[in-house]
Structure 1
Amino acid sequence: MQNWGILGGTFDPVHWGHLLMAETALIQADLDKVIWVPSFSPPHKQVMEFEHRSSMVQLAIADHPSFALAPVEANLQAIDYAIHSLNYLQSLYPHTHWHWIIGMDAFTTLPRWYRRQELITICDWLVAPRPSTHVQLDDTQVAQQLALQGMTIRSSLLAMPSVGISSSLIRQYCRQGRSIRYLVPEAVRIYIDTHKLYSN
């Protein structure tokens, strides 16, 4: 049985916080691999084109032997929810135990996720703290909300420092013409600059 992690997100753009989250989960949960899954068409967000976001993730993880970009499944390109991604990955990689790696902000919305009953039973959940978040309180609240819906979740908190970097901050810096060096991997910074992403 393989022990793999899933790190999903818009990655608009990917940054050092995402990489630290993935690395911490890899070590803490003794994962064999972390599969990165950029959302193709997030149901509730307007984001940069998938090709750009996917290319930036590929550049960011290229030198890590235990990180891999998920294959694109054409039938899921119209709209994608977490359960679609997981079902597809299960079909590709049977005999795998899955851990969903997630930031605390997104984790607190889990009680409202589409087809969450299936996700919660299939995955263990590795939750990264956010700056200025009462981590234990939020973690407990999510478990309580799910319990009221008849679900029990297996979750643990990642032992990592809070990282005050966000994709929205990076996009803001780009619009303002400010440097994003050291906020993202250098290959990602060059890609953003070359393609003039987020400048408008």
Structure 2
Amino acid sequence: MQELAIFGGTFDPIHWGHLLVAETALHQVSLEKVIWVPSLNPPHKEAALFGHRVEMLQLATKDNPSFTVSLVEGKRSGTSYAISTLIDLSACYPNTHWYWIVGLDTFQTLPGWYRGHELAQMCDWLIAPRQLGGETITQSKLICKQVEQQLKEQSLIIHWQLLNIPLVGVSSSLIRKFCRDRQSIRYLVPETVRSYIINNNFYSNKSE
């Protein structure tokens, strides 16, 4: 049985933090592949056009043979839901043990996702801790255990582990802000992505 991970998100834009999370997951649990899945219509936010986000993802990941970008959500209409993505990818990759890579803040909301209780048991969860100063790991584990307990109270079992990553204080929202403020984003994103953003004049007038 192959071991694959889904890394979903808006990736608006992809940055070095995303790449570091995916690379850490790849080796921490000996994955064969990380499948990057950009959201077509994220439920709670607006994002740059799907095609542009896909292009930036492909530019950023093309040099790593263990990374692949899936357009599975681009073939769907309506809101992008995680469980639909997993079901569709399972049809493409049978006989797979699935992992899902997610940030801590997002994992905390899992019990409230559309069919989240069902999804929670369909894969193992690899969680990127957030930046909380010296208490990062302790606080992150506590939050994960709270989610685990919420599900356990409904007789649901979830398997999770924290990713052992150095904390990188970069986010897509910060990059968009820098673009609006005409600040340099060099070394926050891969150079190919930076060039794409500049050449297409992305985010310069984009509101949060």
TM-score by length of 1: 0.97
Does the aligned pair in 1 maintain the 2:110–2:120 contact within 8 Å?
A: no
Q: How high is the sequence identity, in percent, across the aligned residues?
A: 56
Name the residue aligned to 1:196.
Answer: 201
TM alignment of 1:1-200, pairs within 5 A:
1-72=1-72, 75-132=75-132, 133=136, 134-200=139-205
Deviation at 1:117, TM superposition (A): 2.4
Q: Secondary structure at the match of 2:72?
A: coil
Distance 1:74 1:60 in 2: 19
Query: 1:143-176 CA distances to partner (integer Å, 9 max, x unpaired)?
Result: 1111123211100011111110000000000000
Distance 1:47 1:101 in 2: 20
- Between 132-141 and 21-30, report the one with greater CA deviation: 132-141
Which amino acid in 1 is paired with 2:34?
V
Runs of 4+ in 1 over 2 A off after TM superposition: 71-75
Deviation at 1:72, TM superposition (A): 3.3
Which amino acid in 1 is paired with 2:153?
L
Deviation at 1:78, TM superposition (A): 2.4
Which amino acid in 1 is paired with 2:158?
I
Distance 1:113 1:4 in 2: 22
Does the aligned pair in 2 maintain the 1:110–1:116 contact within 8 Å?
A: yes
Q: Which runs of 5+ in 2 are unaligned?
A: none
Deviation at 1:111, TM superposition (A): 1.1
Q: Secondary structure at the match of 1:64?
A: coil
TM-score by length of 2: 0.93
Distance 1:74 1:83 in 2: 15
Which amino acid in 2 is paired with 1:16?
W
Does the aligned pair in 2 maintain the 1:146–1:152 contact within 8 Å?
A: yes
Does the aligned pair in 2 maintain the 1:76–1:84 contact within 8 Å?
A: no
